[in-house]
């Protein structure tokens, strides 16, 4: 970073402003970089020595099954969230940014998407749990027990609750792209004789495709890394990867390997980094015409 080839005093004067960044960089080193590096190193260690046992253990059937469940959960909710979220975004984008509808929807989306998975878990326990409001309503009115054998506390329940925060996240990230579609483009298309349908398929969809796919990737990463909702909802067993990391952290020894949680965390980071890199690439394509 430093400029070279000047005299000592000149270089010092040039470097001085960079020193102003030192507190910030030191802080991030301690609380972000060191923990991340500790995970990467810990994954290749066992009892203080270099070892590949934990990495090799990742391909055992149990962790592979959890990884697959996590991918299914993230993939399903990313597709559902992106599709329904894009529809909802389209519904609210026509309202003025200062209108009550827009303010309410965006604030609500912020709360549901980014705030407190634990609280959302309890929202669904109150709705569809054993004595949930909707469950009891079905029991007394229709005579059907929709609680069943507790699907809410397994993978199907996670898909439902995750969709509940994925749709709002889609609204947040997709709104700028949809707002960036300029009315002039529509007018230009219409003045050239395009129908509403042609404008949609031949102008709007190709323009929005990178943003849409990028948002879907972001949703995937978001669900893949989410922990709180699943942890509060699923108290027994660990059907998905994040909960297996919990089991590895809270029980002293998992599968007889102390550092297995590190290997699982490394696996998680690899998946998320790949997905987020693709997201960044797609975002760059969108930003060409956005703003």
Partner 1 sequence: MKGRLVRGLLIVPFAVFFLVPLLAMLDFSTRDGDGRSGRAWAALVENEQLREAIISSLLLALFTVVLMVVLLVPTMIWVRLRVPRASRMIEFLCLLPLAIPPLVIVVGISGVYAWVSYFLGNSALTLTFAYVVLVLPYAYRAVDSSLASVDAVTLSEAARSLGAGWVTVILRVVLPNIWTGVLAAAFISAALVLGEYVFASLLNFDTLPVVVALLGKSDAAVSVAASLAALMFAFVLLLLLSFAGRSRHAERT
Write the binding mask 63 to 92 for partner 1: x where contact by CB under 8 A, - elsewhere. Answer: ---------------------x--xx--xx
According to DSSP, the residues that pair with 49 across neighbouring strands are 46
- Of 34 and 205, the one with the shorter C-beta distance to partner 1 is 34
Rounded to the nearest 10 degrees, the angle between the axes of helix 61-93 and helix 260-287 is: 30
In 3D, which of 183, 184, 154, 194 has the Cα closest to residue 72? 154
Choose the binding region for partner 1 from 75-83, 99-107, 151-159, 197-205 (rule: CB under 8 A). Answer: 99-107
- Interface with partner 1 by CB under 8 A: which range of 25-33, 69-77, 180-188, 198-206? 25-33
Cα separation values, 104 from 53, 97, 111, 275, Å: 51, 10, 11, 31
Question: What number of chain residues touch partner 1 (CB under 8 A)?
Answer: 79
* Rounded least distance, CB 31 to partner 1, Å: 5
Question: Which stretch in 38-46, 58-66, 74-82, 207-215 sits in contact with partner 1 by CB under 8 A?
Answer: 38-46
Using CB under 8 A, which of 5, 24, 149, 236 touches partner 1? 24
Q: How far is the CB of 1 from partner 1 (least distance, A)?
A: 7
Q: Note whether 290 binds partner 1 by CB under 8 A.
A: no
Specify the stretch interacting with partner 1 by CB under 8 A; choose among 5-13, 31-39, 140-148, 206-214.
31-39
Angle between helix axes 155-180 and 117-128 (nearest 10 degrees) is 120
Residues 6+ apart with CB under 8 A from 236: 153
Q: Provide, rounded to whole angstroms, the least separation between the CB of residue 26 and partner 1.
A: 10
Question: Quick one: which segment of 4-12, 54-62, 65-73, 126-134 binds partner 1 (CB under 8 A)?
Answer: 126-134
| Least gap, CB of 65 to partner 1 (angstroms) | 19
Cβ atoms 276, 221 nearer than 8 A: yes
Closest CA to 213 of 38, 61, 63, 86: 86
If one counts every other C-beta atom within 10 angstroms of the C-beta of residue 197, the result is: 8
User: Six-digit token pair at 10?
Assistant: 């000149």
The DSSP code sequence of 96-165 is: -TTSHHHHHHHHHHHHHHHS-HHHHHHHHHHHHSTT-HHHHHHHHHT---TTTTTGGGSHHHHHHHHHHH
167 or 207: whose CB is closer to partner 1? 167
* CA pair distance 245, 225, nearest whole angstrom: 11
User: Per CB under 8 A, which of residues 221..260 are in contact with partner 1?
Assistant: 221, 224-225, 227-228, 231-232, 235, 242, 245-246, 249-250
Kindly tell me which of 112 and 216 has the beta carbon lying closer to partner 1.
Answer: 112
Binds partner 1 (CB under 8 A): choice among 57, 73, 82, 125: 125
Task: Please give the Cα distance from 94 to 164 (Å, whole number).
Answer: 23
Residues 150-179 that bind partner 1 (CB under 8 A): 164, 167
CB of 121 to partner 1, least distance (A): 8
- 39 lines the binding site for partner 1 (CB under 8 A): yes
42 binds partner 1 (CB under 8 A): yes
């Amino acid at each position: 970073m430093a400029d070279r080839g000047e005299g000592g005093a000149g270089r010092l004067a040039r470097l001085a402003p960079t020193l102003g960044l030192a507190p910030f960089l030191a802080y991030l080193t301690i609380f972000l970089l060191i923990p991340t590096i500790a995970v990467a190193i810990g994954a290749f260690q066992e009892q203080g020595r270099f070892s590949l046992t934990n990495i090799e253990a990742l391909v055992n059937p149990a962790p592979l099954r959890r990884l697959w469940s996590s991918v299914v959960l993230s993939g399903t909710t990313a597709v559902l969230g992106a599709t329904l979220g894009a529809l909802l975004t389209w519904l609210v984008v026509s309202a003025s940014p200062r209108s009550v509808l827009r303010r309410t929807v965006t604030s609500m989306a912020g709360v549901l998407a980014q705030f407190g998975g634990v609280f959302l878990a309890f929202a669904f326990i109150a709705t569809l749990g054993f004595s949930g409001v909707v469950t009891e309503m079905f029991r007394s009115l229709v005579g059907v027990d929709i609680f069943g054998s507790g699907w809410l506390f397994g993978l199907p329940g996670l898909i439902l609750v995750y969709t509940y925060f994925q749709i709002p996240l889609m609204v947040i990230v997709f709104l700028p792209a949809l707002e960036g579609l300029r009315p002039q483009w529509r007018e230009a298309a219409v003045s050239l004789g395009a129908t509403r349908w042609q404008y949609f398929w031949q102008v709007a969809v190709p323009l929005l495709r990178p943003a849409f796919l990028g948002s879907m990737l972001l949703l995937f990463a978001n669900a893949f890394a989410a922990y709180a909702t699943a942890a509060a909802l699923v108290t027994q067993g660990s059907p998905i990867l994040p909960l297996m990391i919990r089991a590895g952290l809270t029980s002293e020894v998992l599968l007889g390997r102390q550092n297995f949680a590190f290997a699982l965390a490394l696996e998680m980071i690899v998946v998320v980094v790949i997905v987020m890199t693709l997201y960044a690439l797609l975002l760059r394509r969108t930003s060409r015409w956005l703003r």
